[in-house]
Structure 1
Amino acid sequence: MYIAIAGNIGSGKTTLTEILTKRYAAKAYYEDLANPYISDFYEDMGRWSFHLQLWFLGSRIQQTLTMLADEQDNIVQDRTIYEDAHIFADNLHAMGLMASRDFDTYMKMFNIEQALLPKPDVLIYLKASVPTLIAQIKMRGREYEQNIDEEYLQRLNDKYNHWIENIYEGRVLVVDKDVDDFIADPTIIDRICASVEEMCTGKRQL
């Protein structure tokens, strides 16, 4: 079973990945935060947006190819290649922080590569309001995230909701983090797992 966790910055992807990995004796694949452009990007998004996104795209493809070669029955992935393109790169382009020429080049590479990769059996979308995201970002204390603009997070939320509702074609389980905080109430994990195990045939609200 291939489970992917999608969601905005600070939505709880890594925490849920850890929980589900233990629950299913799965192998976890986390977002690679060793991107050498990430600190520069948060200082000057326009200057470093293309470099940042291209590095993440390459890292995600490499990770997925490793997953394909893995003999594990269950895999949980923290963030997907689809988010890199349809959320982050698209948003940077819309904000004028990635040139159209760079964005077109990026999307050509993404479209070729994503066509060769398998979709998750279930994608769990962690939906959260900006105040919830900000609280989590402050709590985990990553220095380069502390000055993220609330408007930027809201734009990403809008992109995520549009992607889930209009673009992504696989099985989706939506978890509303404002209501269903699985960290505060571990019983919610049982409900998430029950839904995952039903192998949802469409978009579903927890």
Structure 2
Amino acid sequence: MAAKHLVLVAGNIGAGKTSLVTKLGEQLGWRTGFETVETNPYLGKFYGDMRAWAFHLQVFLLAQRSQLHIEAHRHPSSAILDRSIYEDYYIFARALHSLGNLSAEDLDTYSRVYKLVITSLPKPDLLIMLKAPVSALLERIHSRGREMEAGITAEYLSLLDGYYDEWLHSFDVCPVLTISSGDLDYVNDPAHLASVIKTVEAKLSGRDELVFDE
């Protein structure tokens, strides 16, 4: 019987998380989990008034992501999730505070709730971190043309990148596999996808020598 794994995919906006989760789920027969924008009652309000709704949005996303995490862990097969719950605080809540959209009091309250939630969650087996240059992120964001992402700037993506670097430096919950997605096309190039799958399987098996095929 194949080993069961829980894999989380992290990365900046436009890094290719959803595409990778979809492809790995299809190729490996894993359960997939995605953030459901349609059922989020705060997202539209947040983009209309970020300061008024940032705390509500973050708490909702924390609850949604913790539920996905628990359901994925309980599922009989391996599972892979689009974005990790750990990013909610270490990346996005901190960025909201830095930009003045989340007060120090709200950040502290959110941090306390976040830590209580995290301690109750099973640990994942692997975190896949997707990295890409800000220019590539912006190009992908513009090409997919989502209205809610229209105001995303290079400066904001760079801010998030900085928080990602800080977070990964001290992240010790599970092994981390960093993949530079800027030059990879695992959506349209079968060879690239095969290399990613080979690398992920090697990391999950405990092998540390990870080399992409040419």
Same fold (TM over 0.5): yes
Separation of aligned partners in 1, 2:55 and 2:105: 10
User: Aligned equivalents of 1:122 and 1:171: distance in 2?
Assistant: 5
Report the Cα distance in structure 2 between the residues aligned to 1:201 and 1:88, rounded to whole angstroms: 32
Structural mapping, 1:34-53, within 5 Å = 34=38, 35-53=40-58
- Shift of residue 186, structure 1, vs aligned partner: 3.0
Give the letter for the 1:187 counterpart: A
Give, in whole Å, the separation in 2 of the partners of 1:168 and 1:45: 32
Q: Give the alignment of 1:29-178 within 5 angstroms.
A: 29-34=33-38, 35-72=40-77, 74-178=78-182
Q: Following TM superposition, by how much is the alpha carbon of 1:168 offset from its aligned partner in structure 2, in angstroms?
A: 4.2
Amino acid in structure 2 at the alignment position of 1:123: L
Deviations 1:78-114 (A, max 9, x none): 1111011111011111222211111111111110111
- Deviating more after overlay: 36-45 vs 167-176: 36-45
Q: Which runs of 5+ in 1 are unaligned?
A: none
Moved more, 19-28 or 92-101: 92-101
Range that drifts further, 43-52 or 23-32 = 43-52
Shift of the 189–175 alpha-carbon distance from structure 1 to 2, 3 Å rule, reads: same
Instruction: Call closer, same or farther: CA 1:201–1:60 in 2, change over 3 Å.
Output: farther
- In structure 2, what is the equivalent of residue 191 of structure 1? 195
1:168-204 deviations in whole A, cap 9, x for unaligned?
44211111122333235331222222222122577x7
Summarize deviations over 1:117-140 as a string: whole Å, max 9, x none. 122211111111211111111122
Post-superposition Cα deviations, 1:9-64, rounded to whole Å, max 9, x if no partner, equal 11111110110001111111111213222223233322221111111001111222
Q: Distance in 2 between matches of 1:122 and 1:193?
A: 13
Normalization by structure 1: what TM-score?
0.91
* CA radius of gyration, larger in: 2
Q: How many residues align?
A: 205
For the structure 1 residues 112 and 50, does the alpha-carbon distance in structure 2 shift closer, same or farther, using more than 3 Å as the test?
A: same
Q: Structure 2 stretches of 5 or more lacking a match?
A: none
Runs in 1 of length 4+ with deviation above 6 angstroms?
A: none
Q: CA RMSD in A?
A: 2.0
- Distance across 2 between alignment mates of 1:192 and 1:168: 22
Within 2, Cα distance between the matches of 1:125 and 1:67? 19
Relative distance call for 1:201 and 1:114 in structure 2 (3 A) is farther
Q: Check whether the contact 2:10–2:84 (CA below 8 A) recurs between aligned residues.
A: yes
